[in-house]
Chains A and B, each alone.
Chain A
Amino acid sequence: DSGVTQTPKHLITATGQRVTLRCSPRSGDLSVYWYQQSLDQGLQFLIQYYNGEERAKGNILERFSAQQFPDLHSELNLSSLELGDSALYFCASSVGGEGDTQYFGPGTRLTVL
């Protein structure tokens, strides 16, 4: 158990819908990262927040957005969902500095039908 929690574990929805994925970092960690892992694929970095502020951005679609709240939990919002958005979405947390170890949550499996 990494100490990072993600909800829900599974999510099944239809194309065109909007969903919100939630992540709670390890106690004391200020940074949250979001990754997308499609079937049999590597991890695509989406976005990183540090203490409520966006710190780094990867290949995140305009239909996706994220935020980190004052209590440091984070949410990833996915809208106008397409079939190709079906994937595992991982959240990771770290203390916040460069070269930090990232601790991954169990992931949310999103299926878009």
Chain B
Amino acid sequence: GQQVMQIPQYQHVQEGEDFTTYCNSSTTLSNIQWYKQRPGGHPVFLIQLVKSGEVKKQKRLTFQFGEAKKNSSLHITATQTTDVGTYFCAGQTSGTYKYIFGTGTRLKVLA
């Protein structure tokens, strides 16, 4: 079945360092979404990418969708302690309505 893998599983960074998480799907995706889940909280939608090669920015966050629409990345520049949490990608394949969530990357930021 369809799988979505994320790496790394965990990442500890010093405040001010950059962070990147990668998401890889076994199948071509129609779109991909990114969510953030704070410790003890629920997933919160960050962004959706639809087009091949698409790049979107939100302040210090940069999201990319691969040309083949099978992978994606989230890059955070100059991390802050408020960036702590688990980042999930969620892929949807054309013709289906369900989202397959990636395994998540847990980010810890050391002050």
Contact = CB atoms under 8 A, between A and B. Distances in A.
B27 interface: no
A24 to B, nearest CB: 15
B44 interface: yes
Contact of A45 (B33, B99, B103, B104): B99
A105 B42 contact: yes
B101 A42 contact: yes
Interface stretch (B59-67, B68-76, B90-98): B90-98
B48 interface: yes
Contacts of B98: 33, 45, 48, 56-58
Nearest to B43: A104
Interface residues of A, number: 25
Contacts of B30: 98-99
On chain B, which size bracket covers the interface? 20 to 34
B22 interface: no
B43 A101 contact: no
A55 interface: yes
A10 to B, nearest CB: 13
Given A42-B102, A43-B88, A101 B97 contact: no
Given A33-B99, A99-B30, A101-B33, 18 more contacts: A2-B44, A33-B98, A45-B98, A45-B100, A48-B98, A50-B97, A55-B97, A57-B98, A98-B30, A98-B97, A99-B31, A99-B48, A99-B50, A101-B48, A102-B33, A102-B45, A102-B99, A106-B41
19 contacts: A2-B42, A2-B44, A33-B98, A42-B88, A43-B43, A43-B90, A45-B98, A45-B101, A48-B97, A56-B98, A99-B31, A99-B48, A99-B50, A101-B45, A102-B33, A102-B43, A102-B90, A104-B43, A107-B42
Interface of A: 2, 31, 33, 35, 42-45, 48, 50, 55-58, 90, 92, 98-99, 101-107
